[in-house]
């Protein structure tokens, strides 16, 4: 299995499929690189090189006690990119992964980056504050932390419903999709899962977004129950000069069903153009 060693000796697992211009995928919380398999298979089948890693603490990567911070996530990604000597990269990040690739640009610039895709991403700031009134109240994140500590297995299974809009009338969310979400979530170390809640909810990416100077596609579902689009995607599209914004009617937080099909087509069109 392919791994890249980090300065603190953590091992980061990655998948590397196909050949051509690299498309690097960063996954959301509390998932793994496997959540991108459909998209990675699609782009690799269309002449691109698909790369997806497990964030530290997640999946097959090391479950470190320390280092579960957005800065370290971004630096881990940079080391994977440097190890593979990637250039003209198309960075694709969902949810927390969108924060990771945004912080990567904030810390490492865009010299290796050609384009970016932010889908259901957490920037610029999820947490509700006096200056971010449309954000999510801290109590919601405290509830997530409590769920992780009390019975994370049941918590993750329950979370799969709002994550994919399975609690909406007319949803066609399958049990298999929910169990896949649960399985990926249970591969996350409990310490990493707990620490990451603060990172995706309280990190302010405003200054990082200002450093994005490559074509950027911002995709959001208008029924995202996890990351409020008013404080996240819509605001990101305002802060990134020239960003292309698409709002998907009825789209959930996670990519599923018709929303996923529409996004996949748009993703392929964006990386080809």
Among residues 26, 61, 62, 95, which one is catalytic? 95
User: Annotated catalytic residue: which of 27, 58, 94, 253?
Assistant: 253
User: Which residue among 75, 195, 208, 224 is the active-site one?
Assistant: 224
Is 53 considered catalytic here? Answer: no
pLDDT in tens, 122-152: 999 999 999 999 999 999 999 999 999 999 9
The reported pLDDT for the residue numbered 34 is: 98
- Cα(58)–Cα(184) distance, rounded to whole angstroms? 8
Instruction: Decide: 81 and 89 in contact? Cβ < 8 Å.
Output: yes
- Tens-place pLDDT, residues 53-69: 999 999 999 999 999 99
- Residue 224 a catalytic site member: yes
Question: What SS3 class is residue 249?
Answer: coil
Q: 176-209 pLDDT, tens per residue? A: 999 999 999 999 999 999 999 999 999 999 999 9
How confident is the prediction for the chain on average, in pLDDT? 97
- Supply the pLDDT for residue 150: 98
The pLDDT value recorded for residue 218 is: 98
At residue 117 the predicted structure's pLDDT band, cuts being 50, 70 and 90, is: very high
**For residue 32, which phi and psi values (nearest 5 degrees)?**
-140, 180
DSSP states of 156-189 as a string?
HHHHHHHHTTTTSTT----HHHHHHHHHHHHTS-
Q: Write down the pLDDT at residue 71.
A: 98
What are the percentages of helix, strand and coil residues in the chain, rounded to 5? 45, 20, 40
* CA quadruple 20, 50, 254, 188: dihedral, nearest 10: -160
Per-residue model confidence as pLDDT tens digits over 209-238: 999 999 999 999 999 999 999 999 999 999
């Amino acid at each position: 299995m392919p791994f890249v060693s980090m300065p603190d000796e953590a091992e980061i697992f990655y998948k590397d499929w196909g050949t051509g211009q690299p498309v690097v995928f960063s996954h959301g919380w509390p998932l793994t690189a496997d959540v991108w398999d459909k998209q990675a298979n699609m782009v690799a089948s269309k002449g691109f090189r698909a790369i997806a890693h497990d964030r530290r603490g997640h999946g097959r990567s090391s479950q470190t006690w320390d280092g579960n911070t957005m800065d370290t996530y971004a630096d881990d990604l940079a080391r994977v990119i440097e190890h593979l000597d990637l250039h003209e990269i198309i960075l694709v990040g969902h949810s927390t992964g969108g924060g990771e690739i945004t912080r990567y640009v904030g810390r490492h610039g865009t010299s290796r980056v050609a384009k970016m895709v932010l889908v259901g991403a957490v920037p610029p700031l999820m947490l509700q504050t006096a200056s971010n009134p449309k954000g999510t109240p801290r109590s919601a994140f405290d509830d997530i932390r409590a769920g992780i500590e009390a019975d994370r297995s049941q918590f993750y299974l329950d979370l799969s419903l709002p994550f994919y809009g399975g609690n909406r009338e007319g949803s066609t969310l399958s049990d298999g999709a929910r169990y896949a979400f649960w399985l990926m979530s249970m591969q996350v170390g409990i310490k990493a899962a707990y620490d990451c809640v603060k990172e995706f909810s309280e990190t302010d990416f405003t200054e990082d977004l200002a450093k994005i100077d490559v074509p950027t596609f911002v995709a959001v579902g208008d029924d995202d129950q996890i990351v409020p689009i008013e404080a996240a995607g819509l605001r990101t599209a305002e802060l990134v000069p020239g960003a292309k914004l698409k709002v998907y009617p009825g789209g959930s937080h996670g990519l599923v069903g018709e929303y996923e099909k529409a996004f996949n087509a748009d993703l392929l069109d964006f990386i080809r153009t």
